[in-house]
Structure 1
């Protein structure tokens, strides 16, 4: 058995896409349909096959810099192919009309809802659990929360598909306010924030949560860039590799 230490967390707070689950194809598909008509008479696999490879390539680049579903709209801009920094991405996103972003997000969410409810098997097959993350959630059963830009219903459905539905106590869905979510858990659960370990593959999220006093770990198996790796090293932000997940164990219960 792995020995527990003073650094062992009482609560685990995790991002979803890029940490627990790999869903790049699903995100690319709903993002495409965020700006193109969704003919619901066409089955999901055919919809996915019709997404242009050029768009998927741009989406892969955009995904590395995104924190919210709203941000995926940038993949529709031809200029996205030239993004080489977070500043480039932020500039492109800021150049968009907020009404355009809202329309995109509503349409992408509607497409996701359709696939999740009307073509559930297809939709669920687009989500795979990263190796070791199922065992991690089971170790922290009841002491884990998910804090994600994805909607809570989708997260719950995917976890249930993989037999993990009861492992997560709460899902903070459709949120970019991850530091606030961690502080909320600390206050309501009565757990000191330094006893919460937060894991996210997005550097901005990891840095913001670190400022709360939580132990923030930057996941190395999700979406990131060389620029982010250099910035994380400068900030001395602790990376977490997938093969290190097995060493994370919950803190021992307090003595009576």
Structure 2
């Protein structure tokens, strides 16, 4: 059975379109040194970056990243972080008298200063996944409605897209400023564009929330297996009746994702 293209293709940004893992680590490290300047290191920077990359799938919002580094350097077992990150995160917030608001401001201001003083080095730490830029340009040329739904700040997303010669109107980028769960944003998009939406995300938790939302039962859900996922995420998604596993090669072949 052939499937018609969706009314709207909604895409996460980090881990779906763009790999910013190197920038995440560097920004997190800068903020970490602000908060814990005197702490001795138990790992080399290379070892920290490797572990940070392995554990990045637990992060849902950028302010958590310096706390992930703190958990790593305190020797928190990786399995504990993967299985119960919210508990680990909240314990660190209390132990060091920190808040999500303060950490978020530190992360954003660190990025701002970096872009203002050396934007080329900041930009060089971001890589659009192979084939993604050409695919987005092709879909736009074909008139396929697109939206980006992300927890990253809209201005950072818009800047990176512009540098890649991709132009999305501001109203097509739904960033952290929305201060709403992705389910609410998707419901609003569905009311504008109609059903069915297709939604591509690399965070399993976000897809499960959509799958549990009755108003979005017509939405097709895709887990980006090339993004910040774990083997456990992929296995759970594969067993879920609503979620499709999607490879990067398949992603670039839109709209044939559901072809038999």
Q: TM-score range by the shorter chain?
A: 0.7 to 0.9
Deviation digits for residues 62-107 of structure 1 (CA, Å, limit 9, x no counterpart): 3121111122122211244523564332321132326514232221
Following superposition, the deviation at residue 35 of structure 1 comes to 2.2
**Corresponding residue of 2:254:** 248
Instruction: Name the CA shift for 1:19/1:221 in 2 (closer, same or farther; >3 Å).
Output: same
> Counterparts of 1:190 and 1:75 in 2: how far apart (Å)?
41
Following TM superposition, by how much is the alpha carbon of 1:5 offset from its aligned partner in structure 2, in angstroms?
A: 4.2
Q: Take 1:224 and 1:80, find their aligned partners in 2: how far apart are those partners?
A: 20
Q: Indicate the SS of the match to 2:92.
A: coil
Per-residue CA deviation, residues 220-254 of structure 1 (Å, 9 max, x unaligned), is 1011112212221232321010111232139xxxx
| Aligned partner of residue 182 in structure 1, secondary structure | helix
Q: Is 1:112 paired with 2:115?
A: no
Q: Which runs of 5+ in 1 are unaligned?
A: 39-50, 251-256
Unaligned runs of 5+ in 2: 36-43
- Give me the whole-angstrom Cα distance separating, in 1, the residues matched to 2:244 and 2:253: 15
Distance 2:14 2:180 in 1: 13
**Aligned counterpart in structure 1 of residue 45 of structure 2, from 28, 35, 52:** 52
Counterpart CA distance in 1 for 2:31 and 2:229 is 24
Partner of 2:86: 90
Pick from 153, 156, 166 the counterpart of residue 154 of structure 1.
Answer: 156
Residues 144-170 of structure 1: per-residue CA shift (max 9 Å, x gap): 111111111010000000000247851
Task: Say yes or no: does 1:178 pair with 2:182.
Answer: yes
C-alpha distance in 1, partners of 2:184/2:171? 17
How many residue pairs were aligned?
232
Kindly tell me: are residues 176 and 79 of structure 1, through their superposed partners in 2, closer, same or farther at Cα, counting changes over 3 Å?
Answer: farther
Q: Please list every run of at least 4 consecutive aligned residues from structure 1 whose deviation after the TM superposition is greater than 4 angstroms.
A: none
> Normalization by structure 1: what TM-score?
0.81
Deviation, structure 1 residue 137? 1.6
Query: Cα deviations across residues 193-223 of structure 1 (Å, max 9, x unaligned)?
Result: xx21111111111222233221110001011
Residue 245 of structure 2 is aligned to residue 224 of structure 1: no
Q: Structure 1 residues 200, 190: CA separation in 2 closer, same or farther (over 3 Å shift)?
A: closer
Match for residue 98 of structure 2? 100
Greater helix content: 2
The answer to whether 1:9 aligns with 2:10 is: no
Are positions 1:27 and 2:28 aligned together?
Answer: no
Is 1:75 paired with 2:69?
A: yes
Report what 2:200 is aligned to.
199
Task: Give the TM-score normalised by structure 2.
Answer: 0.80
In the other structure, the counterpart of 2:38 is: none
